[in-house]
């Protein structure tokens, strides 16, 4: 067992999970703020140079875990590790956001899909893409093909 | 505080942190295995369709946290949240690996940069790239430019 504690919290327009856009073709363009704890502000030095960040966070209002579930983007069940379901063995979320601006310990970002007040565990720079021609997107690509053949 | 527990462990060729390639231009091509706990195997259903995965893991042999540090790829210090340093407030690592093959609860992958026996917290599908023309890589791009002007 490992213990982790929030380095800060997300400010997001979403107060309820039902407000978060989901399903095939969803684009996450909502603006939000990553509010890092004041005493950790030094850890943000030079982050302004990166256009995109990984945010690792906690699904703190999700309960239980299911190994097989049907995501909003498909009508068929898939394994939890092949989806972004909140009902995971460890309720950890991962989101790529675009960094718009930094104001001291606050990072103004675009692309939040977390609830307001979501605890943040870590922030890392997004350094490189996977080579696009080698990227395969499994059941998601299949579900898209069935919907828009 | 949140508690997390490993969903499995990484098998990697690296037994010691000094063996892991680091610094500018490093490519991580080492093959390894993500060994998921047997009772969670159902959670891997349909993962074979994805070419790349996010692995969220624990720096279990790293100690302490420093808000400012000099990474192996530069001669200048940067904030911990602008680097992949192991000395983080929460010692959580994130690696993108290429999925080569699945054998039951074992995922054979390429691109491990973790130590052997590293605890895995989560596995998620890699779904999409950031648009390449908007990607900015801050101090890392500057360090590369200084080294290979």
Backbone phi and psi for residue B134, each to the nearest 5 degrees, phi listed first: -100, 0
The tens digit of pLDDT for each residue in B15-70 reads 999 999 988 888 889 999 999 999 999 999 999 999 999 999 999 999 899 999 99
Report d(CA B81, CA A123) in Å as an integer.
5
Name the β-bridge partners of A70.
Answer: none
Distance from C-alpha of B143 to C-alpha of A144, rounded to nearest angstrom = 40
Counted across chains A and B, CB pairs separated by less than 8 A come out at 218
Quote the pLDDT of residue B116.
98
Residue B1: pLDDT band by 50, 70, 90 thresholds? confident
Terminal alpha carbon distance of chain B: 46
Is residue A101 situated within a structural domain? Answer: yes
Collapse the DSSP code of A33 into the 3-class scheme (helix H, G, I; strand E, B; otherwise coil) and give the result: strand
pLDDT tens for each residue of B70-117:
999 899 999 999 999 999 999 999 999 999 999 999 999 999 999 999
B124 DSSP β-pair partners: B54
CB contact B24 to A (< 8 Å): no
The answer to whether A132 faces chain B, any CB pair under 8 Å, is yes
Residue at A104 is within a domain: yes
In a domain, A103, yes or no: yes
Structurally, chain A folds into a number of domains equal to 1
Q: Is residue B1 part of a domain?
A: no
Residue B112 lies in a domain: yes
What is the predicted ipTM?
0.96
- Entry field: residues in chain A: 149
Structural domain for A28, as ranges: 8-147
CATH number at residue A24: 2.40.30.70
Hey, of A27, A56, A81, which one would you mutate to test binding to chain B, going by the most B CBs within 10 A of its CB? A81
pTM, 2 dp: 0.96
CB–CB of B82 and A125 under 8 A?
yes
- Residue A1 within a domain: no
Mean residue pLDDT across chain B? 95
In the prediction, which pLDDT does A136 show?
Answer: 95
Q: Is residue A57 part of a domain?
A: yes
Q: Which residue has the tokens 């101090």?
A: B139
Residue A108, beta-bridge partner list: A33, A101
Q: Is residue A2 part of a domain?
A: no
- In this predicted model, what pLDDT tens digit does every residue of A37-50 receive, in sequence order? 999 999 999 999 99
């Amino acid at each position: 067992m490992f213990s982790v504690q929030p380095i800060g919290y997300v400010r997001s327009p979403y107060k309820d999970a039902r407000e978060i856009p989901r399903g095939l073709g969803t684009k996450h363009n909502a603006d939000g703020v990553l509010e890092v704890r004041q005493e950790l502000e030094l850890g943000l030095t030079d982050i302004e140079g990166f256009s995109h960040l990984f945010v690792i966070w906690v699904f703190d209002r999700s309960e239980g875990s299911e190994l097989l579930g049907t995501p909003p983007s498909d009508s068929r069940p898939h394994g939890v590790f092949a989806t972004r379901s909140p009902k995971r063995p460890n309720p950890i979320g991962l989101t790529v956001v675009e960094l718009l601006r930094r104001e001291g310990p606050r990072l103004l970002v675009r692309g939040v899909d977390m609830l307001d007040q979501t605890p943040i565990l870590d922030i890392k720079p997004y350094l490189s893409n996977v080579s696009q021609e080698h990227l395969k997107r499994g059941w998601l690509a299949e579900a898209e093909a069935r919907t828009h053949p």
